[in-house]
C-alpha cells in the first residue's frame, strides 16, 4: 500500500492553514472541498421540494437518492434503503429507540454501557419511563475494552437490544463488535453500534460486523453537519415503528424513521466524501471506484494515522508524570489516533489553555462520555486532555504540539 501523500491531501481541505494546527478532530473534522461544491450545486440548481412531477423536483430527488447511496457505500450496506438520514447521531439513536419501543412490552430489557458516549446510552435509558428494564454493562476494573465475557451475564430471554460503541472517544480503542454481535444474536437480541469515533479513521463494514443498527456523524467524516443510521432492512421494516406522519405505512423504509425531511443539500453533499476517497485512491495509483476506493483510501489512512499516534504516544510513554488513558500502543488494528491522558499535578484545563496561544487546537473534558470519565477517578474535575488527529494532520504538526508540551514542562520545573 503506498504511503499517504499529504501534499495531495491537504489542499482538499480549504480550512487548513500553516498557522493553525487542528487536533480536535474527534469533535468534528474539516470539510473536504468536494462536499462544499455539491452543497452549492444543490442550492443553486435544485433547491425545491421533492416529489413533484416537474423536472427540477425530479432532479432534486435524484440528488438526494445519490446522497443516500453514497452513505450506503461508506457503510457497506446492502441497499440504500437501509440508511436513515438525520441531523446528528444522537438524534438518530433517539429516533431509533422511539421506533423500536413500539414493538416492545414493559419488562423487556436493554443493555447499555457506562463507558461510551451518551448518544447511545441516554436514548435507551429513557425507555425506562415506558417500562423497559435497563441493565448496565460495566468494564472490569483496569480494562479499556469490553469483552463478550463481561456482557454475557447481562443477557437473558427478555433482552431486546444491546447498545455499544465501535471505538471509544476517550480510550481511542477499537472494540471487537463482531464478537459482541455474535453473542447478542445467540440470545435473540439486536445490537446497536455507535460508530462516530470510528468512521473518520477506518472503512465501516456493517455486513462484516453483522451490526443490526449502526450510526455515525458525517460531519466528523469530512462531510457536512449530517448523520446516518444503518439498519438491516427487515428490521427497519418489521421491528421498527413509524415515527413520521400517521399516514406513513410500516413498510415505508427508511422514511418512516425520518420525521419531516432530511436536509436535502447536505444529503446530496455526502457524495462529495466518496468523490474525495476515489480521488485519493487514484492519486496513489489505485484504480478503484465506489466501495473498493473507500477501502483502499482508508487502508492508507490507517497507516498514516498509526504513525501520527506513535509520534505522540512515544513521547507520552517517556514521561513519568503522564498517564495515558487507554492503550499506550499505536497498533492500527487496536486504536485510532484519538489519544487521552492526564499529567500528574496539573489540571487538564490549565494544560490545554496554556497550549491555546500556540495556535494548536486540542481539548479537555469528558466529551459526553461522562459516565466513563467519572468512573476512572482521575482526580481532575476537568477530565482528560485529548489530542485527536486524522489523516490530514502531519508529523510536523505533531512535533509542534510535543514541543509545546515540552516548553510547558520546562516552565513548570
Question: Are 257 and 310 in the same domain?
Answer: no
Question: Mean pLDDT, the chain, as a whole number?
Answer: 97
Question: Are 187 and 319 in the same domain?
Answer: no
DSSP at 218: G
Residue 19's pLDDT is: 87
C-alpha cell at 328: 499506550
C-alpha cell at 68: 443516500
Residue 241's pLDDT is: 97
Question: For residue 164, is it within any domain?
Answer: yes
Residue 141's pLDDT is: 85
Question: Are 67 and 25 in the same domain?
Answer: no
Question: Are 218 and 360 in the same domain?
Answer: no
Question: For residue 1, is it within any domain?
Answer: no
Residue 301 scores a pLDDT above 90: yes
Query: What is the CATH number for 103?
Result: 3.40.640.10
Residue 14's pLDDT is: 96
Band the pLDDT of 61: cuts 50, 70, 90. Answer: very high
Question: For residue 385, is it within any domain?
Answer: yes
Which residues does residue 363 pair with via DSSP β-bridges, in sequence order?
A: 386
Which residues does residue 338 pair with via DSSP β-bridges, in sequence order?
A: 388
Question: For residue 75, is it within any domain?
Answer: yes
Tell me the per-residue pLDDT of 6-46, one tens digit each, with 9 for 90 and over.
Answer: 999 999 999 998 789 999 999 999 999 999 999 999 999 99
Assess contact for 61 and 200: CB atoms under 8 A. no
Instruction: Tell me the average pLDDT across 154-164.
Output: 98
Assess contact for 231 and 79: CB atoms under 8 A. no
Question: Are 183 and 328 in the same domain?
Answer: no
Question: For residue 263, is it within any domain?
Answer: yes
Tell me the per-residue pLDDT of 350-372, one tens digit each, with 9 for 90 and over.
Answer: 999 999 999 999 999 999 999 99
DSSP at 178: H
Question: Are 373 and 388 in the same domain?
Answer: yes
Tell me the per-residue pLDDT of 370-379, one tens digit each, with 9 for 90 and over.
Answer: 999 999 998 8
Residue 59's pLDDT is: 98
Assess contact for 193 and 229: CB atoms under 8 A. no
Residue 33's pLDDT is: 98
Band the pLDDT of 1: cuts 50, 70, 90. Answer: confident
State the pairing for strand pair 384-388/363-365.
Answer: antiparallel
> Which residue blocks in 22-174 are alpha helix, DSSP H?
33-45, 55-75, 89-100, 122-125, 148-151
Residue 231 scores a pLDDT above 80: yes
How many domains, the chain?
Answer: 2
State the pairing for strand pair 109-113/133-137.
Answer: parallel
Which residues does residue 135 pair with via DSSP β-bridges, in sequence order?
A: 111
DSSP assignment of 128-158 equals GGGT-EEEEE-PPTT-SS--HHHHGGG--TT
Report the percentage of the chain scoring pLDDT > 70: 100
How many other CB atoms are there within 10 angstroms of residue 89's CB atom?
Answer: 25
Residue 407's pLDDT is: 95
How many other CB atoms are there within 10 angstroms of residue 18's CB atom?
Answer: 9
Question: For residue 71, is it within any domain?
Answer: yes
Tell me the per-residue pLDDT of 70-126, one tens digit each, with 9 for 90 and over.
Answer: 999 999 999 999 999 999 999 999 999 999 999 999 999 999 999 999 999 999 999
Residue 413 scores a pLDDT above 80: no
Report the percentage of the chain scoring pLDDT > 90: 95
3-state helix, strand, coil in the chain (%, to 5): 45, 15, 40
Question: Are 91 and 182 in the same domain?
Answer: yes
Question: Are 84 and 188 in the same domain?
Answer: yes
pTM for the full model?
Answer: 0.97
Residue 166's pLDDT is: 98
Question: Are 118 and 240 in the same domain?
Answer: yes
Question: Are 148 and 184 in the same domain?
Answer: yes
Assess contact for 60 and 264: CB atoms under 8 A. yes
Instruction: Tell me the average pLDDT across 232-240.
Output: 97
Assess contact for 351 and 408: CB atoms under 8 A. yes
Instruction: Tell me the average pLDDT across 136-163.
Output: 96
Query: What is the CATH number for 317?
Result: 3.90.1150.10
**Structural domain that includes position 165:** 35-273
Q: How far is CA 57 from CA 36, 45, 63, 65, in A?
A: 21, 10, 10, 12
Task: Give the CA dihedral 330, 331, 337, 341, nearest 10 degrees.
Answer: -50
Q: How far is CA 55 from CA 31, 46, 169, 263, 385, in A?
A: 30, 10, 45, 20, 52
Helix (H), strand (E) at residue 372 = helix 370-376
Helix (H), strand (E) at residue 355 = helix 348-355
Residue 18's pLDDT is: 78
Question: Are 269 and 343 in the same domain?
Answer: no
DSSP at 393: -
Task: Point out the domain boundary residue: 258, 273, 288.
Answer: 273
Question: Are 75 and 202 in the same domain?
Answer: yes
Amino acid at each position: 500500500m503506498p504511503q499517504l501523500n499529504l501534499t495531495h491531501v491537504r489542499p482538499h481541505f480549504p480550512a487548513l492553514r500553516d498557522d493553525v494546527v487542528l487536533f480536535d478532530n474527534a469533535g468534528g473534522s474539516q470539510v473536504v472541498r468536494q462536499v462544499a461544491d455539491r452543497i452549492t450545486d444543490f442550492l443553486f440548481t435544485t433547491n425545491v421540494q421533492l416529489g413533484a412531477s416537474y423536472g427540477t423536483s425530479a432532479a432534486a430527488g435524484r440528488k438526494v437518492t445519490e446522497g443516500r447511496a453514497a452513505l450506503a457505500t461508506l457503510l457497506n450496506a446492502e441497499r440504500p434503503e437501509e440508511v436513515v438520514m438525520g441531523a446528528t447521531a444522537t438524534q438518530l439513536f433517539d429516533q431509533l429507540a422511539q421506533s423500536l419501543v413500539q414493538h416492545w412490552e414493559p419488562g423487556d430489557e436493554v443493555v447499555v454501557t457506562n463507558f461510551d458516549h451518551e448518544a447511545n446510552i441516554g436514548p435507551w435509558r429513557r425507555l425506562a419511563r415506558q417500562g423497559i428494564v435497563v441493565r448496565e454493562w460495566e468494564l472490569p476494573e483496569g480494562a479499556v475494552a469490553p469483552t463478550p465475557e463481561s456482557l454475557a451475564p447481562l443477557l437473558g430471554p427478555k433482552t431486546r437490544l444491546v447498545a455499544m460503541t465501535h471505538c471509544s472517544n476517550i480510550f481511542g480503542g477499537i472494540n471487537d463488535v463482531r464478537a459482541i454481535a455474535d453473542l447478542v444474536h445467540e440470545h435473540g437480541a439486536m445490537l446497536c453500534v455507535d460508530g462516530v469515533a470510528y468512521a473518520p479513521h477506518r472503512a465501516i463494514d456493517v455486513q462484516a460486523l453483522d451490526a443490526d443498527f449502526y450510526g455515525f456523524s458525517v460531519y466528523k467524516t469530512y462531510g457536512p453537519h449530517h448523520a446516518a443510521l444503518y439498519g438491516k432492512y427487515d428490521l427497519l421494516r418489521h421491528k421498527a415503528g413509524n415515527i413520521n406522519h400517521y399516514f406513513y405505512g410500516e413498510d415505508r423504509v427508511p422514511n418512516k424513521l425520518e420525521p419531516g425531511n432530511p436536509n436535502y443539500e447536505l444529503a446530496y453533499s455526502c457524495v462529495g466524501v466518496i468523490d474525495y476517497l476515489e480521488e485519493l485512491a487514484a492519486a496513489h495509483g489505485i484504480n478503484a471506484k465506489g466501495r473498493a476506493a473507500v477501502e483502499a483510501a482508508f487502508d492508507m489512512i490507517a497507516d498514516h494515522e498509526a504513525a501520527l499516534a506513535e509520534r505522540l504516544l512515544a513521547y507520552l510513554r517517556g514521561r513519568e508524570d503522564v498517564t495515558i488513558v487507554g492503550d499506550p500502543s499505536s497498533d492500527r488494528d487496536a486504536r485510532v489516533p484519538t489519544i487521552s491522558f492526564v499529567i500528574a499535578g496539573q489540571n487538564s484545563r490549565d494544560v490545554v489553555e496554556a497550549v491555546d496561544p500556540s495556535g494548536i487546537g486540542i481539548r479537555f473534558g469528558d466529551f459526553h462520555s461522562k459516565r466513563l470519565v467519572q468512573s476512572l477517578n482521575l482526580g481532575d474535575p476537568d477530565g482528560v486532555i485529548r489530542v485527536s488527529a486524522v489523516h490530514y494532520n502531519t508529523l510536523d504538526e505533531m512535533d509542534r504540539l510535543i514541543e509545546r508540551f515540552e516548553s510547558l514542562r520546562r516552565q513548570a520545573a
